[in-house]
Amino acid sequence: MPTTTYDIGLTGTSFTGAANREDLLDVVTLISPTDSPLFTMFRKAKVSNVQTEWLTDTLTQAASNAVVEGSSAVFTSDSARVRLSNYTQISRGTVEVSDTQRAANPAGIKDQFRYELAKKLKQWKRDVEHDIIAGNSATATPASTRCARGIYRWLSGFSSRTANIANAATMSASNLQEDDLNGVLMSVWTTGGLCDYVVCTPTQKKAISTTFAGSANSRRNSPLESLSVTNVVDWYYSDFGNVKILPHRWITSAAVGGGNLNRLTFALQSDKWVIGFLRPPKTIPLAKIGSAERAMIEGEWTLICMHPSANTFVSGHAAGTFADNFPSN
C-alpha cells in the first residue's frame, strides 16, 4: 500500500482519492505446474510392509530341440528366479494457519486453512512425481531416511538395456539421436519388452519434433485460411513399438545421490511399473497448540519395477544446454 498522504480532489498530485475503495480481484492465480504424468499413468496397488518384494524369471535361450526316438530324458537346470525389492518412502506436507487468519476475509479464498491443504496436496503429488523419476537408491538403514528407488536408479542399476549415444565419451552431442533411440527400442524388443513411452526433457522433445528424419518426411494438410504451421511429434512409430513422446518437467539437472538426468532420455513400458501404497495420502489433523490450526498430508509409497529390462534410457546428451528444463516454481 502507498504510504503517501492522499489529497482528495487536488490536481497535479500523485494520489487523489483517499476515500476510494481498493480494487482487489476476488481470485488467486496459481501458475506453478502441477502435472504428474507418471504418478497418474502407473497403476496402483496395496503393499503390506515397508519392504516390498517380487520375482522375475526368464526362459532359457531358444535353440534347436530335436531328440532321438526312444532316448532317455536328460534334465538340465533352468535359470533361477530373481527377487527384486524396494522400500516404502514417507512423503509429507504440513499446514499451519492462525485462528486470526481463518477469521479474516482474504481475497479469493473462503477458508485459508482449506486452501492451504489443497495447495499442499498438489505439492505432495509433485514431490512424489519428482522422486518417481529421479529418486535415490533404495535405502532403509536405521540412521537414514527410508527412500524408494526411482526410475533412474532402477534402470542404471538393474537394466542391461541402457545405452550411450554415439559420442557419449566427450558428451558433445546436444540432443538425442534417432538411431540411438531406435537402438535401445530394438534392444528392449529383443529382450521381450515393448516400450510405449519416451520420457524426455523439454529440450529433447523439441529436438525430436525438429531433427528426427521421420518427422521431416511427414506431411500435414491445413486450410490456407488457417495460416498455421505444424511442427510437433507426439508419437514416434518405430520398427520396435509405437511410443508416445512425453516431455517431463521433473527430470532434474542433478538426481538425488548424483547423476545428471538432463543427459538422459527414458523409454518405458508403462505396464511394468506399479506404485504401491502402504498408506495412501490423507489429511491428518494435528493437535492444536495455541491459536493456530494444524494438519499434515502424509502417504507412504514405493515404486515397483516389474522387470527393469523392459525399460531403457539413452545417456550422453551434452551438459550446459538445458537451463530451462526444470521449472523454478
Quickly list DSSP for 80-112. PPEEEEEE-EEEEEEEEEEHHHHHS--TT-S-H
Task: List the CATH code of the domain at 37-57+82-218+231-315.
Answer: 3.90.1690.10
pLDDT value, residue 206:
87
- Amino acid 168: pLDDT: 39
pLDDT tens-place string over residues 147-168: 999 998 888 877 655 555 443 3
Please give the Cα distance from 284 to 282 (Å, whole number): 6
> pLDDT > 90: what percent of the chain?
44
The cell for 9 is 480532489
Q: Which has the higher per-residue pLDDT, 8 or 200?
A: 200
User: DSSP string spanning 261-301?
Assistant: GGGEEEEE-GGGEEEEEEEEEEEEE----SSEEEEEEEEEE
Tell me the three state secondary structure of residue 306: coil
pLDDT of residue 228: 59
**Average pLDDT of every residue of the chain:** 82
pLDDT confidence tier of residue 225, bands split at 50, 70 and 90 = low
Question: What is the reported pTM?
Answer: 0.83
Residue pLDDT, tens place only, 93-127 = 999 999 999 999 888 888 999 999 999 999 999 99
Residue type, 73: A
Give the per-residue pLDDT at 40. Answer: 94
How do residues 76-96 score in pLDDT, each as one tens digit?
888 888 889 999 999 999 999
pLDDT of residue 229: 57
Judged by average pLDDT, the poorest of 160-164, 193-197, 250-254 is 160-164
What is the structure's pLDDT at 171?
39
For 179, phi then psi, to 5°, come to -65, -35
Instruction: Give the per-residue pLDDT at 169.
Output: 36
User: Domains of the chain: which residue ranges?
Assistant: 37-57+82-218+231-315
Whether 320 shows a pLDDT value over 80: the answer reads: no
The whole-number pLDDT of residue 220 equals 54
Q: Residue 112's CB: how many other CB atoms inside 10 A? A: 19
- The answer to whether 147 and 139 have CB atoms below 8 angstroms apart is yes
Determine the average pLDDT of the residues in 136-151. Answer: 80
